[in-house]
A and B are shown apart, each in its own frame.
Chain A
Amino acid sequence: MAGKVKWVTDIEKSVLVNNFEKRGWIQVTDTEDWNFYWMSIQTIRNVFSVDTGYRLSDDQMVNHFPNHYELTRKDLMIKNIKRYRKELEKESSPLAEKDENGKYVYLDFVPVTFMLPADYNLFVEEFRKSPSSTWIMKPCGKAQGKGIFLINKLSQIKKWSRDSRTSTFMAANSGKEAYVISLYIDNPLLIGGKKFDLRLYVLVTTYRPLKCYMYKLGFCRFCTVKYTPSTSELDNMFVHLTNVAIQKHGDDYNPVHGGKWTVNNLRLYLESTRGKEVTNHLFDQIHWIVVQSLKAVAPVMINDKHCFECYGYDIIIDDKLKPWLIEVNASPSLTSSTANDRILKYNLINDTLNIVAPNGEIPDCRWNRSPPKEALGNYQVLYDEEQAMSENTDRDLRSRSGQSLGSKSTKSGSVRPVTATWK
């Protein structure tokens, strides 16, 4: 039992390799026996494909769920969230409450989005309702800001669909080059006049029951160019996209800080300029939407016991301090752009390994998935379904004896129908 962990990776990043070596684990190739495989999403597809028929044994772990794309592909995430809302509505769950404008009170956390070309007609209908709005087109299966562009006229989308049909547009049948089109958040919160998005890391060790952790050391990614909502700048991607991969090509990219600001800085700034209550509320809301997005995909996720996953959540905050979930990445970049970035990512992997491979020992996929508090490092428990269930039972008992909890929750959103455990 006390053998050394044999590891494989197809992502040769120093933050990974250094962490494995620090634990005295032994590197092997994927044709040998291995215990721990940190793999790209291309590889995970093969591991779990029907053709290869690979069977993982109890002492093997991998860093993805087989159908993680239910969450990490833009179109599927939207589909799952829409389905989740409908189901809750059907159950008349208090979570599905709507306001006077027909918007979900608690579940309106992704910008209005359609699949293209499938939902083209629905999109046109929505577009005509607010013709001055800007929309953002993103290819479903690509990351790092590739293939993204903005439109604010219907003619642009018509042109695009014509062009792509004659070239590589295969969406209708294969789904590979499908796009999503989302309402562009045109009132983002600006700091120092600059636009930014949030990158947060979330670890999931099981979907049923759901257990997830939030990494405390997320960061804001700033655009190097001033934000102007004017349409003349629509073509300047540096203004709109905050992905480091894109920003790196801007003239003003600074290699010292890489345009990254810690979440702690964000909190200090918001608390100083807006007060503690609204700041706490914002962070609560962010945690809330992460949990809800995971709950939305939990029923369809193959909850393979050999799997865990560390997601990169991209969130934009608007000027009313409402957070919006933009997308979730299955393979957040492990490339380090600055010295601080390297430390952060090294620690992220270190803390992740401490949870999923306790004490650096050979993993056992039947592990109880309840790491002791000391092992969490910079992670904090975001949601633990088992624990929440037992809390709810307690509360139900209490409320039955006392006054009833009531199925309708208050609108303020401060009283949430479900006790999450990040507090």
Chain B
Amino acid sequence: MTLPILELAGLRKSFGELEILTGIDLKVTKGELAFVIGPSGSGKSTMLRCCNLLERPTSGAVMLEGRNIAASGVRLDPVRRRIGMVFQSFNLYPHLDALGNVSLALRKSLKLPRAEAAERAAAALERVGLAERARHHPAQLSGGQQQRVAIARAMALEPAVMLFDEPTSALDPELVGEVLAVMRELREAGMTMVVVSHEMRFAREAADRVIFMDQGAIVEQGTAEEIFGAPKSSRLQAFLARQAA
């Protein structure tokens, strides 16, 4: 079996008295698209945010390419360059144009020279189909375009894995397709991805594995056919019934 790129082991997270994650074990292998579903409040986003230590787990390990990055003393900035993240609300920098948004980390974190960073950023924008919007500021872009810039920003660093936190939830329905198309293309290019989303159709079509979370734990996981076609647990059955309704 191939070594997992990303592995969560015994991951727990509490906010005060409230335990949000009650022990998560998850392995994501290279090139895999792991799709996380579950009711709101089930801990999906918290789990995702623990993967790049935006939330520090209360206990447990986050292994990236075989190294526990949740251990104390690990310098997080270089680690985070290996983990791209795409947010529900895009979080583009409003004072920079699309090219500036994508190239900032290339210049300041990877320390690439300005010209090389611009070149790589332009290539990333090209891949998400926004080459001609490079000089537009976020306010001049549609929601779908903004999210594609955000994907380009994460992708340009050539991460080992990309995390998507409800990437289409803030979008008007007619703009969802263009973002999913970019994600589909990323997957075809072999990017390892962990996606938290409610886009069940995309999960059916693109996910290698679907993970169902409820109340801070992974309840059930399997291929899309297994999860959607033959759900075993009553909680998953109830969740899917609510989604269909």
Q: Do A and B come from one complex?
A: no
